Structure 1
Amino acid sequence: MNTEPLQEKPPARIHATAEVSPAAKIGAGSRIWHYVQIREGAELGENCIVGKDVYIDFDVRVGNNVKIQNGAYLYHGLTVEDGVFIGPRAVFTNDVYPRAINPDGTLKGADDWEVGPTRVCYGASIGSGAIVLPNVTIGRFALVAAGAVVTRSVPDHGLVVGVPARLVGYACRCGRRMTPQGNGYFCSVCQWTFHPEELTP
């Protein structure tokens, strides 16, 4: 029987200038920096880093060990799995049919729009200034290049660039671009081969 005392997890550290709703959940060991806003119902996992000026909208879900760099905007409808990197000024949109007003000219309210859900899967990276449109899934260890505009889903390990983003290759778990080899892709650093046909549907 193990009689060693359980180690307590370090508490989250929240900068005095950050605005974190009391109805948000912040995991142990996470660090929230200057002028961050985290709204009600949002959930942030353990050991996350949230940089200066980040906005996390209501009910957004963020996993463990996620890094969110300065000025990123994470809007309602977004789920971020464990180990994801979100670069500076990345934006996750959520309105499928964006309008300020209804057809009759009245200002749209909370019930007058349709949320498009977005998921960023385990280990994926979103480059600086990238824009992700609603109703997409970014696969495990996928890599979205800086400034890309993602309009459709990205496969596991997919490397996408441009406006709109297009698939140009595959990225290793270490983040490096893999080279084609036979019917797969090879990382010379990790000595690892990836076969796109093994992707989960």
Structure 2
Amino acid sequence: MARRASARVEFENDQGEIVQYLRHANGGGLVSPEANVPESARIDQAAYVEAGARIGERTRIGVGSWLEHGAVVGNDVTIGGNVRVGVRAQVEDGARIGSGARIGERATIGQRAVVRSDTRVAPGAVIGRQTTARQRARGGVAA
């Protein structure tokens, strides 16, 4: 008999505070009760969505990805595995973020833009609509 995952999970953060997450019904990822995530979104296992984050309809967040406080992700976005979306970063409708990418604090990824795997987007950078951000060199920063 399969055992259902716990609906509420608690952790102690680095400041010694107890933080709570709820398992998302579509994928089982962990979502802060203070985040806004629709049922149509898929939050894969071991993905985290922090307080104040907002995710649009039909968006997919891959395994092991982390959306930090206040991140905003639009509709129909695909975020690969092990991606980090920084504090107050914005990912607009239809964008694609490859696995292992890092989106800096307050960066903006435009509508239908593509960020390739392992790319680092600098804090505050803007990747325009329908463009592709590539890693320039090992450890490079896309802007």
TM-score normalised according to structure 1 size? 0.51
Matched residues in 2 for 1:77 and 1:118: separation?
7
1:13 equivalent among 36, 43, 51: 36
The runs of 5 or more residues in structure 1 that have no matched partner are 1-7, 95-116, 143-201
RMSD of aligned residue pairs (Cα, Å): 1.8
Structure 1 segments of 4+ aligned residues over 6 angstroms from their partners: none
The runs of 5 or more residues in structure 2 that have no matched partner are 1-18, 20-31
Partner of 2:73: 50
Matched residues in 1 for 2:73 and 2:97: separation?
11
Note if 1:63 corresponds to 2:76.
no
Matched residues in 2 for 1:16 and 1:62: separation?
20
Q: Aligned with 2:129: secondary structure?
A: coil
Deviation track 1:52-111 (CA, whole Å, cap 9, x = no partner) reads 0000100011110011100000001211110001100000123xxxxxxxxxxxxxxxxx
Shift of 1:132: 1.6
TM-score normalised according to structure 2 size? 0.71
Matched residues in 2 for 1:19 and 1:10: separation?
16
What is the number of equivalent residue pairs in this alignment? 110
Partner of 2:102: 79
1:26 equivalent among 49, 66, 69: 49
Partner of 1:119: 120
Deviation track 1:163-194 (CA, whole Å, cap 9, x = no partner) reads xxxxxxxxxxxxxxxxxxxxxxxxxxxxxxxx
Matched residues in 2 for 1:92 and 1:48: separation?
16
Partner of 1:137: 141
The structure that has the greater radius of gyration is 1
Larger RCO: 1 or 2 (CA < 8 Å, sep 6+): 2
Matched residues in 1 for 2:99 and 2:33: separation?
28
Matched residues in 2 for 1:68 and 1:36: separation?
11
Sequence identity (%) = 34
